[in-house]
C-alpha cells in the first residue's frame, strides 16, 4: 500500500511531465502557424513580383513599338525631304539608296538594342524575384531552425529538470522514511523494554502485595521475608536506581517502623528518598511522602527537631504542589501539631491541629473518620493545656462520628477512653454516664451504652 508521500511524488511527476508536453506541443503549433504565415506572405510577394514583371514586359513592349513608330515617322519625313531634293538632281539617287540602307541598318540596330534592353530588364526582374524567394526560404529555415533547437532543448532539459527535482523529492522521502524506520525501531525497543519492565514490576508487585497482606495481619516477620525478596528481585531486574525500587525500600522500611525497629527503618527510608529526589526531584509529592515517613521515625524516636525538619520539608512541597487545602497537607499539619504536643508547645500544637481540621471539615466532611481523629487530637491538646471544657467539646465530637458509623471500631474505644480521662481530669461532680447522656441523642446513647458494656 502506497503512503501519502509516494502518491504525492507520482502526482507531482505526472503533472510536470504533462505540463512540459503541453508547452512543447504549443510551441510546435506556434512554429507551424508562423511558417504557414511566412509561406503565404512569400507566395503573395512572388505573385506581386510576377505581376510587376508582366507589367514591365508590357511597358517595354509599348516603349519598343513607340520607338519603332517614331523612327519610321522620322524616316518618312526624311524620305519626303530627300525626294524633294532629288527632283533637283537625279545624281543623288544612288546617295538616297545608301542613306536608306544606312537608315535601315540604324533601325535594325535600334530595335535590337531595345530588345536587348527588354531582355536585360526582364532577366533582372526575374533574378530579383528568385533572390526574394531565396531570402524568404532562408528566413523561414532560420526561424524553423531556431524553434527546432528550442524544442530540442526543452525536450532534453525539461525531463532532466523534472527528474532532478524528482530525485531530490525521492531522497527527501527516503530520508524521512529512514528516520521513521529509526523512530519505529526505537519505539519498538522502548515498547519491548516497557513490556519487560512491566512484567518485572508485576512479578515484584506480587511479592509486595503478599507482604502487605501479612503486614495488615500483624505478621511482620513474614511480611519482611516477602519484602526482602521483592528488594532482591527489583535490584536484579530493574536496577538499584529504579523508581519502583524506591517504593519497595519504602515498604520494607514501614515494616521495620511498625515493629518499632527504627534504626533498621531509617536507612531504607533514606534509600527511597535518594532515588525519588534523583528521579522525581526534591519538590515532587512522592518525595514529600518519604520526608513524612522519615519524620515519623524521628518523631517516634523522640528526636523532635529532626522530625519537625522533615515534616516542614514535606509541608513545603505539599502546599506548593497540592495546595494548602489538600487532605495530604492536612495530614502533615496534624503530624506537626503532634510533635509540638510532645514538646509541650500546646499553642503551636492547637494552631496546626485547627489548620488540619479546617481542611478536613471542608474537603472530607464533619463526619469523616479523619475529621474525628483531628477532633480527638485537639481535645488531647486542650487536656494537656488544662482547658477541660474545650477538650470535652472536641472529644464528644470525635466519639459521635464513630457512634453513628460503627461503635465497635477500635477508634471508638480509643476516643471513649480519652473522653473519660478528660472528664475525670475536669473534676465535674455529675456522674460521667449522666453527663454523657445529656450530650447524645437516643440513637447515639444506645450505641454508647453498648460501647460501655463492651458489646
pTM of the predicted model as reported, rounded to 2 decimal places: 0.58
DSSP 441: -
Inter-helix orientation angle 410-426/442-453, to 10°: 90
CA dist 402 and 111 (Å) reads: 157
Q: Which three cell numbers stand for residue 399?
A: 466519639
pLDDT digits (tens, 9 = 90+) for 322-370: 999 999 999 999 999 999 999 999 999 999 999 999 999 999 999 999 9
Q: Which residues of the chain have pLDDT under 70?
A: 1-14, 16-17, 31-32, 35-36, 38-39, 42-43, 45-46, 49-50, 52-53, 56-57, 59-137, 139-167, 169-170, 173, 177, 180, 184-194, 455
pLDDT at 207: 87
- Length of the chain as a residue count: 455
* Domain layout of the chain by residue ranges: 4-181, 232-453
Measured CA to CA in angstroms, residue 304 lies from 256, 301, 314, 376 at distances of 20, 8, 15, 21
CA dist 248 and 225 (Å) reads: 13
CA dist 439 and 339 (Å) reads: 31
Q: Which three cell numbers stand for residue 214?
A: 501479612
> DSSP string covering 382-440, please?
HHHTT-HHHHHHHHHHHHHHHHHH-TTSHHHHHHHHHHHHHHHHHT-SS-HHHHHHTTS
Considering only CA atoms, which of 229, 268, 274, 263 is closest in space to residue 252?
268
Considering only CA atoms, which of 421, 407, 341 is closest in space to residue 374?
341
Measured at the alpha carbon of residue 418, what is the angle toward residues 381 and 260, in degrees to the nearest 5?
80
Measured at the alpha carbon of residue 213, what is the angle toward residues 318 and 274, in degrees to the nearest 5?
40
Give the helix/strand (H/E) hosting 455.
none
Q: Which CATH architecture has domain 232-453?
A: Alpha Horseshoe (1.25)
Nearest-10 Cα torsion for 348, 350, 356, 361: -160
pLDDT at 256: 94
R_g over Cα of the chain: 63
pLDDT at 250: 94
Q: Which three cell numbers stand for residue 364?
A: 472530607
pLDDT digits (tens, 9 = 90+) for 288-318: 999 999 999 999 999 999 999 999 999 999 9
pLDDT at 89: 46
> DSSP string covering 229-285, please?
HHHHHHHHHT-TT-HHHHHHHHHHHHHHHHTT-HHHHHHHHHHHHHHHHHHT-TT-H
Amino acid at each position: 500500500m502506497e503512503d501519502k508521500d509516494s502518491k504525492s511524488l507520482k502526482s507531482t511527476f505526472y503533472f510536470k511531465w504533462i505540463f512540459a508536453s503541453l508547452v512543447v506541443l504549443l510551441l510546435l503549433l506556434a512554429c507551424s502557424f508562423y511558417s504557414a504565415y511566412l509561406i503565404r506572405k512569400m507566395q503573395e510577394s512572388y505573385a506581386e513580383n510576377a505581376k510587376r514583371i508582366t507589367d514591365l514586359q508590357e511597358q517595354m513592349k509599348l516603349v519598343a513599338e513607340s520607338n519603332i513608330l517614331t523612327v519610321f515617322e522620322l524616316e518618312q519625313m526624311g524620305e519626303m525631304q530627300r525626294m524633294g531634293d532629288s527632283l533637283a538632281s537625279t545624281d543623288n539617287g544612288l546617295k538616297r539608296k545608301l542613306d536608306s540602307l544606312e537608315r535601315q541598318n540604324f533601325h535594325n540596330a535600334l530595335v535590337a538594342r531595345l530588345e536587348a534592353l527588354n531582355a536585360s530588364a526582364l532577366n533582372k526582374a526575374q533574378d530579383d524575384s528568385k533572390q526574394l524567394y531565396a531570402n524568404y526560404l532562408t528566413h523561414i529555415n532560420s526561424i524553423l531552425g531556431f524553434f527546432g533547437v528550442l524544442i530540442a532543448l526543452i525536450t532534453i532539459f525539461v525531463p532532466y529538470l523534472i527528474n532532478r527535482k524528482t530525485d531530490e523529492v525521492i531522497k527527501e522521502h527516503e530520508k524521512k522514511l529512514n528516520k521513521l524506520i529509526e523512530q519505529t525501531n526505537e519505539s519498538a525497543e522502548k515498547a519491548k523494554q516497557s513490556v519487560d519492565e512491566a512484567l518485572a514490576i508485576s512479578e515484584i508487585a506480587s511479592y509486595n502485595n503478599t507482604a502487605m497482606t501479612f503486614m495488615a495481619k500483624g505478621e511482620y516477620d513474614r511480611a519482611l521475608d516477602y519484602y526482602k525478596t521483592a528488594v532482591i528481585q527489583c535490584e536484579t531486574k530493574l536496577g538499584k536506581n529504579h523508581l519502583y525500587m524506591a517504593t519497595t525500600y519504602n515498604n520494607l522500611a514501614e515494616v521495620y517502623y511498625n515493629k518499632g525497629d527504627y534504626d533498621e527503618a531509617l536507612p531504607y527510608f533514606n534509600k527511597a528518598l535518594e532515588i525519588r529526589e534523583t528521579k522525581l526531584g526534591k519538590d515532587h509529592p512522592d518525595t514529600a511522602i518519604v520526608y513524612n515517613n522519615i519524620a515519623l521515625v524521628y518523631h517516634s524516636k523522640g528526636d523532635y527537631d529532626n522530625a519537625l525538619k522533615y515534616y516542614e520539608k514535606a509541608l513545603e512541597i505539599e502546599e506548593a504542589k497540592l495546595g494548602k487545602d489538600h487532605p495530604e497537607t492536612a495530614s502533615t499539619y496534624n503530624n506537626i501539631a503532634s510533635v509540638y504536643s510532645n514538646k509541650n508547645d500546646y499553642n503551636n500544637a492547637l494552631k496546626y491541629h485547627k489548620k488540619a481540621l479546617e481542611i478536613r471539615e471542608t474537603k472530607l466532611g464533619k463526619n469523616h473518620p479523619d475529621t474525628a481523629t483531628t477532633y480527638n487530637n485537639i481535645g488531647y491538646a486542650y487536656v494537656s493545656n488544662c482547658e477541660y471544657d474545650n477538650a470535652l467539646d472536641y472529644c464528644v465530637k470525635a466519639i459521635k462520628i464513630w457512634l453513628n458509623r460503627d461503635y465497635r471500631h477500635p477508634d471508638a474505644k480509643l476516643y471513649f477512653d480519652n473522653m473519660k480521662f478528660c472528664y475525670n481530669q475536669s473534676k465535674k461532680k455529675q456522674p460521667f454516664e449522666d453527663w454523657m447522656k445529656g450530650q447524645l441523642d437516643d440513637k447515639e446513647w444506645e450505641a454508647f451504652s453498648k460501647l460501655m458494656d463492651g458489646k
